[in-house]
Structure 1
Amino acid sequence: MSGKRYLFFVSLTYSYSILRPLQDAIWQRGDEAAWFIEDGCENWLRNDEKQLHTIQQVMDYNPIAVFVPGNWVYHFFPGVKVAVFHGYAMKKRVEKIDDHFTIRGWFDVYCSQGPSTTPYFKQLEAKHGFFKVYETGWCKVDSFYNNGTTQNTNNNFTILYSPTFTKGICSAWDLYDVIKKIAEKKPWNWIITFHPKLNDPELLDKYKALGSQFENVSFQRGNDGLNTFRKADVMLCDSSSIIVEFMLLDKPVVTFRNTNPGDYLLNVLNEEEVEGALEEALSRPEHLMEHIHNYTMHHEPHRDGKNSERVLEAVDDFITNYKGKLKPKPLNLWRKFKIRIKARYFRFS
């Protein structure tokens, strides 16, 4: 037993389904993992998972690496800071560089997912010089390929509605009446989940009420990854990176005013087109399914269930060959000061 210790930094609820396959890989090695959950984030830990409740406990735990699905981490935590991402690169706004590629100066290692991310991250690695990029595949999807069937086993078709939170792109305001109307007239089941950053109380209450009004509508605040995806046949969405995750299960997606549509989607521009597009998606047209396969392979070619192991191997390689040998990270003094204020932690040793 090597006794290595790793830390998971959780600031939003989507982190649990991303990090648990990585935790399984750590345990299979005979090593330890612990979770640090930011204030305000829901605690979904199981009884067999270890939580560190304070920053001082993290410092004492002294992990060799900290895995982060989000955009930031406490810079003073011990260990190599590893970005494992909360989704795939999606051009939510075609006029902008995807936020997926923003370099903020917090991370030592980026674990890229495939051809859609690795080449550009390698360019950024050469430009900045203070981090290394490893193509590992996304640790979250190990569970997609290691857990048997991912198909819906219910008798009725099920639609998953999971909009993005991005202002000006989110479809939740536009599609409420559409979803209500379809739920009234069609026998389809609905699962409605919202991104944790989509937090409009009035909107949430309206969709929760649908779950009370119709037996075929279920509203759940968070999306639990594979456990949610396997219950659905088709996704209704807009421009969220969750689209790629769902299509990895060989399932079609209908999008409403997607900002970067392609032949792998059934994209509609008007509310009255949604129902017909869902009907078409449920029929799984051969040409559509072929385009879905090609598109998802561009994002995630690693489908052997060993992405998490590759992430751990990347950390080992970085510690052995690069730690302490790269250019220093940007000082980011003002950001670091604000983070220490937020954490109320001012020890420097």
Structure 2
Amino acid sequence: MKYLLYLAKWYSVPIVEPLVEHFRTTGRDYRFYVSAKIRREFPQQWDSNLILTDLTAAKAYRPDFVLAPGNFVDFRIPGVKVQLFHGLGVEKPVHYAIRHFFDVFLTSGPYVTGRFRQLQQRWRYFDVIETGWVKLDRILSFPATGLREKYGIPATAKVILYAPTFSSNMQSASDLLPYLKTAMRDGEYWLLKFHEFMPRELIDSFRVLPPDRARIIHNEDITPYLHLADLMISDTSSVVYEFLALNKPVITYRTIDLKNKAYDITDPTLLQTAVVGCLPYPASLRQGRDLAIATVNPYLDCRTAQRITTALEQLDPSHYPKPGKPLNLIRKLQVIFHHNFKKGYLR
């Protein structure tokens, strides 16, 4: 079997890293088809000779499977189109949007699988396979020793990680900013990690926070900071589940679903009280976390990459696309437009 990793945004890189390592160590045939930005910042540990530099090369490679963490994939590339998902944003309706590019959806756990099975009853042309979300392989196996020294975090400080979503109608940043400074206490160090799609002016407004107590993170990979932090504050962001996988407490602001997974507040003035109450990680939060993980992504064994290849290699690529897959002309035209007029940008 031949695998093509279709990487449009930089956040796709840490998501597929476990798959790349699995492909490499098991001798599987794989290639990369990436945006110009990823090509410029291609991970040093990956073989850049495996990059297919244009659509002609990708088509000539004739992959059996095209694996994409994003929402779009170029339909002109042959092979079964496989959705890996770019996060665990299970509370957001967009997580369940069917854009008619993908033949197979690899779901993270029963909560997501159930929703996609319902959608499958309507559309019938795609398959749903529960494997777990592959990025968690990387998060759970990440080397966490010496991170405080590496990133200059005080040795005894409690680390609070604030990581909001960028979705304008769900983000907490605007509401919580006025209360962050007063919520900060002695003995704490706050890290602020914003999504790459967050408006720049909103990020800049956080620079008023005291630099001896807070730092804006510019590293695009949040994984080391998940390990550094003792507590996370977020909202509906999928990064909440990445942090919960490490069995640590979370405060959410006006979350939408599975509210017992974290300590949810709807009043920003309660932020400091919530931090004080959650840092000890009370048993009630642990129980809610366990239930959420069991339903959203119970696969914490660092073997999701293996499950993915095992599942895909039981499929016959010649059976795809299945009858009933829509023509999807408007989105296909969007893909062609970006390819022809936004050189180096993958839709």
TM-score (norm 1): 0.86
Moved more, 32-41 or 244-253: 32-41
- After superposition, give the CA deviation of every residue in 1:86-120 in whole Å (9 maximum; x if it has no partner): 1224324xxxxx22221111001110111111123
- After superposition, give the CA deviation of every residue in 1:109-140 in whole Å (9 maximum; x if it has no partner): 11011111112322322332221111111111
Are residues 315 and 216 of structure 1, via their aligned partners in 2, closer, same or farther at CA, if it must alter by over 3 Å? same
CA contact (8 A) 1:151 1:231 kept: no
- After superposition, give the CA deviation of every residue in 1:114-173 in whole Å (9 maximum; x if it has no partner): 111112322322332221111111111112343466998642111111101111221111
Matched, 1:31 2:32: no
Q: What is the alpha-carbon distance in structure 2 between the residues aligned to residue 172 and residue 218 of structure 1?
A: 15
Q: What is the alpha-carbon distance in structure 2 between the residues aligned to residue 223 and residue 186 of structure 1?
A: 28
CA contact (8 A) 1:89 1:116 kept: no
Report the alpha carbon displacement of residue 73 of structure 1 after superposing the two structures with TM: 0.9
Matched, 1:138 2:133: yes
The residue type equivalent to 1:176 in the other structure is L
Matched, 1:19 2:20: no
CA contact (8 A) 2:193 2:222 kept: no
> What pairs up with 1:278-289 in 2 under 5 angstroms?
278-289=275-286
The residue type equivalent to 1:288 in the other structure is L
Q: What is the alpha-carbon distance in structure 1 between the residues aligned to residue 233 and residue 247 of structure 2?
A: 15
CA contact (8 A) 1:253 1:281 kept: yes
In the alignment, which residue of structure 1 is the partner of 2:83?
83
The residue type equivalent to 1:102 in the other structure is A
CA contact (8 A) 1:118 1:135 kept: yes
Report the alpha carbon displacement of residue 289 of structure 1 after superposing the two structures with TM: 1.0
In the alignment, which residue of structure 1 is the partner of 2:72?
72
Q: What is the alpha-carbon distance in structure 1 between the residues aligned to residue 25 and residue 208 of structure 2?
A: 43
In the alignment, which residue of structure 1 is the partner of 2:344?
none
The residue type equivalent to 2:174 in the other structure is W
Are residues 204 and 81 of structure 1, via their aligned partners in 2, closer, same or farther at CA, if it must alter by over 3 Å? same
In the alignment, which residue of structure 2 is the partner of 1:164?
165
Matched, 1:310 2:307: yes
Report the alpha carbon displacement of residue 36 of structure 1 after superposing the two structures with TM: 2.8
- Greater per-residue helix proportion: 2
Question: Percent same amino acid at aligned positions?
Answer: 28
Q: What is the alpha-carbon distance in structure 1 between the residues aligned to residue 222 and residue 19 of structure 2?
A: 14
The residue type equivalent to 2:329 in the other structure is L
Report the alpha carbon displacement of residue 260 of structure 1 after superposing the two structures with TM: 3.1
- After superposition, give the CA deviation of every residue in 1:219-272 in whole Å (9 maximum; x if it has no partner): 123552432210111111111121111111101111122233622211112222
CA contact (8 A) 2:182 2:272 kept: no
The residue type equivalent to 1:123 in the other structure is Q
The residue type equivalent to 2:262 in the other structure is L
In the alignment, which residue of structure 1 is the partner of 2:249?
252
CA contact (8 A) 2:90 2:112 kept: no
CA contact (8 A) 1:161 1:237 kept: yes
CA contact (8 A) 1:117 1:299 kept: yes
Q: Secondary structure at the match of 1:294?
A: helix
Q: What is the alpha-carbon distance in structure 1 between the residues aligned to residue 334 and residue 142 of structure 2?
A: 42
Report the alpha carbon displacement of residue 26 of structure 1 after superposing the two structures with TM: 0.9
Moved more, 26-35 or 40-49: 40-49
Q: What is the alpha-carbon distance in structure 2 between the residues aligned to residue 43 and residue 293 of structure 1?
A: 40
- After superposition, give the CA deviation of every residue in 1:160-203 in whole Å (9 maximum; x if it has no partner): 111011112211112222223334x43311111111221x2222
Unaligned 5+ segments in structure 1 are 93-97
In the alignment, which residue of structure 1 is the partner of 2:176?
175
Q: What is the alpha-carbon distance in structure 2 between the residues aligned to residue 117 and residue 234 of structure 1?
A: 26
The residue type equivalent to 1:24 in the other structure is E
Alignment equivalent of 2:96, drawn from 87, 93, 101: 101
CA contact (8 A) 1:13 1:196 kept: no
Aligned-CA RMSD value = 2.5
The residue type equivalent to 1:204 in the other structure is I
The residue type equivalent to 1:303 in the other structure is L
Moved more, 140-149 or 65-74: 140-149
TM-score (norm 2): 0.87
In the alignment, which residue of structure 1 is the partner of 2:188?
188
Moved more, 156-165 or 287-296: 287-296
CA contact (8 A) 1:67 1:83 kept: yes
CA contact (8 A) 2:165 2:194 kept: yes
In the alignment, which residue of structure 1 is the partner of 2:57?
57
Q: What is the alpha-carbon distance in structure 2 between the residues aligned to residue 126 and residue 113 of structure 1?
A: 19
Alignment equivalent of 1:129, drawn from 124, 129, 140: 124
Q: What is the alpha-carbon distance in structure 2 between the residues aligned to residue 23 and residue 147 of structure 1?
A: 15
Q: What is the alpha-carbon distance in structure 1 between the residues aligned to residue 59 and residue 314 of structure 2?
A: 23
Report the alpha carbon displacement of residue 43 of structure 1 after superposing the two structures with TM: 4.8
In the alignment, which residue of structure 2 is the partner of 1:46?
43
